[in-house]
Amino acid sequence: MTSRAERFTRTYITGFMASGKSTVGPLLAAALGRRFIDLDAVIESKEGESIPEIFRRRGEPDFRSLERRELGLLAARSGIVVATGGGALTDPGSMAIVRDSGVLVYLELPLETLLARLRGKTGRPMITADDGSPLDEAHLRERVTSLLRVREPAYRQADIIVDSGSVSPGETVSLIMKSLRTLSVHA
């Protein structure tokens, strides 16, 4: 089990796809003087395939297993900020690793903001048609709503929840930094 003080050397950022994890993460890492790591990029590099290819060839359960493996390896490092995939923490093993080894931050956004950011996007296997094409508006709303219903309980386990929909990435980082200071004082 990781000591309370050691948990503060690792920050994990979660949230739905397009919530800003890959934008806020590097900014937060710079503010903390840490290294930023994108979990999806690590998996793509090690597996030699894109996330959509992994999903298509191997399926979601295998992909979640890869996330869990990499999170286990990252939990042994310190001085990092990790952006998780949007569904990574629905896996109980991945959630346990993150909760034990670091501070979890949830970037929360309203449904309409998520839909606006995801509209017409490809390369995200959970919100595209089987052939990889973008979903129409009705199907996108249905899919995002359904995925949020499943993922929201995991997101809500975060140590810090930031409504990042109405502020800039820099302001989001400031809110996270303030919350981290408050958490560390009460640790």
Query: What digits encode the pLDDT tens for the residues 44-78?
Result: 999 999 998 998 899 999 999 999 999 999 999 99
* Position 173 in a domain: no
* Position 135 in a domain: no
- Residue 153 pLDDT: 96
* Position 185 in a domain: no
The answer to whether 103 and 11 have CB atoms below 8 angstroms apart is yes
| Tokens (6 digits) for 118 | 């995801």
* Position 174 in a domain: no
Q: What is the pLDDT of residues 156-177, one digit of tens each?
A: 999 999 998 889 999 999 999 9
* Position 184 in a domain: no
Q: What's the predicted TM-score (pTM) here?
A: 0.93
Q: What is the pLDDT of residues 101-146, one digit of tens each?
A: 999 999 999 999 999 998 877 777 778 887 878 888 899 999 999 9
Query: What's the rounded mean pLDDT across residues 11-36?
Result: 96
Query: What distance in Å separates the CA atoms of residue 159 and residue 56, rounded to the nearest whole number?
Result: 33
Tell me the residue range of the domain where 47 lies. Answer: 4-109+155-165
- Residue 187 pLDDT: 60
- Residue 122 pLDDT: 73
Q: Is the pLDDT of residue 39 over 80?
A: yes
Domain total for the chain? Answer: 1
Q: Is 48 helix (H, G, I), strand (E, B) or coil?
A: coil
* Position 76 in a domain: yes
**CATH code assigned at 32:** 3.40.50.300
Query: What distance in Å separates the CA atoms of residue 187 and residue 181, rounded to the nearest whole number?
Result: 10
Task: Produce one character per residue of 156-179: b if its CB has 16 or more CB atoms within 10 Å, e if not.
Answer: eebbbbbebbeeebeebbbbbeeb
* Position 130 in a domain: no
Q: Is the pLDDT of residue 186 over 70?
A: no
* Position 39 in a domain: yes
Q: Is the pLDDT of residue 85 over 80?
A: yes
